[in-house]
């Protein structure tokens, strides 16, 4: 079973699904859904449409170059079935998947590092500009904390002063 990729958004197109368009020069275009087909007919560039994988790669939101992508290439050579080779291939696929996930997580973490610093700086700037809104609330919280402390001290003093009346029946 061959799983093709959508020409527009690069998502998988399974057999019996999607639309196939064949141009006069015998170039085949496969689309996963009508949304992709309509965008193709409107001559939209997939790299400029924000929900496509090609946009995400072009904008640096996903990994574009990595050695793990070499394993996804199609090989058009028929290979005689060998049980040991099949087992080794499945083991290799699992290992490549693990490596790919780790690298994608590291790529995302590295990409978010800058945005986290920018967000923190933006929040601090906003806090400095609007400190007048926070000061009354902070003062009220401080007063509430002092009331809680004094109430707990009174409760502790009352329990220390009262003798424990413990009577044992014999």
Q: Among 70, 77, 75, 65, which residue's Cα sits nearest to residue 93?
A: 70
Which tens digit of pLDDT belongs to each residue from 84-105? 988 988 998 898 889 889 988 9
Q: Show the CA angle centred on residue 67, arms to residues 60 and 57, nearest 5°.
A: 20
pLDDT, position 147:
74
Decide if pLDDT at 155 tops 90: no
Query: pLDDT tier at 163 (50, 70, 90 boundaries)?
Result: low
Helix, strand or coil, per DSSP, at residue 1: coil
CA torsion sign for 62, 66, 71, 77 is positive
Query: What confidence category does residue 37 fall into, taking pLDDT thresholds of 50, 70 and 90?
Result: very high
pLDDT of residue 29: 95
Superfamily of domain 1-62: Ribosomal protein L24 (2.30.170.20)
CA angle 111, 116, 119 (to 5 degrees): 135
Exposed (0-12), middle (13-18) or buried (19+): which is 104, by Cβ within 10 Å? middle
The pLDDT of residue 160 is 59
**Which residue ranges make up each domain of the chain?**
1-62, 63-130
Q: Tokens 């793990």 sit at which residue?
A: 68
Q: Per-residue pLDDT averaged across 156-161, rounded?
A: 65
Q: pLDDT (tens digit, 9 = 90+) per residue, 65-84? A: 776 766 777 677 888 888 99
For residues 94 and 44, the answer to whether their CB atoms sit within 8 Å is no
Give the pLDDT confidence of 14-33 residue by residue, as tens digits. Answer: 999 999 999 999 999 999 99
**What is the band of 170 on the pLDDT scale with cuts at 50, 70, 90?**
low
- What φ, ψ does residue 151 adopt, rounded to 5°? -65, -40
Instruction: Please determine, for residue 8, whether its predicted confidence score (pLDDT) is greater than 90.
Output: yes
* Burial tier of 47 (Cβ tally within 10 Å: 0-12, 13-18, 19+): middle
């Amino acid at each position: 079973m061959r799983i093709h990729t959508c020409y527009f958004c690069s998502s998988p197109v399974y057999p019996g699904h999607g639309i196939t368009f064949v141009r006069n020069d015998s170039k085949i275009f496969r689309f996963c859904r009508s949304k992709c087909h309509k965008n193709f007919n409107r001559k939209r560039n997939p790299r400029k449409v924000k929900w496509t994988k090609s946009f995400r790669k072009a904008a640096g939101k996903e990994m574009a170059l990595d050695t793990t992508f070499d394993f996804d290439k199609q090989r058009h050579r028929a290979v005689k079935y060998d049980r040991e080779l099949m087992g080794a291939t499945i083991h290799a696929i699992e290992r490549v998947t693990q490596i790919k996930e780790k690298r994608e997580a590291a790529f995302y973490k590295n990409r978010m590092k800058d945005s986290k610093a920018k967000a923190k700086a933006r929040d601090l700037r906003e806090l400095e500009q609007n400190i007048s809104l926070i000061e009354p609330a902070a003062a009220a919280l401080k007063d509430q904390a002092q009331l809680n402390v004094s109430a707990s001290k009174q409760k502790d003093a009352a329990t220390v002063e009262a003798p424990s009346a413990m009577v044992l029946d014999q």
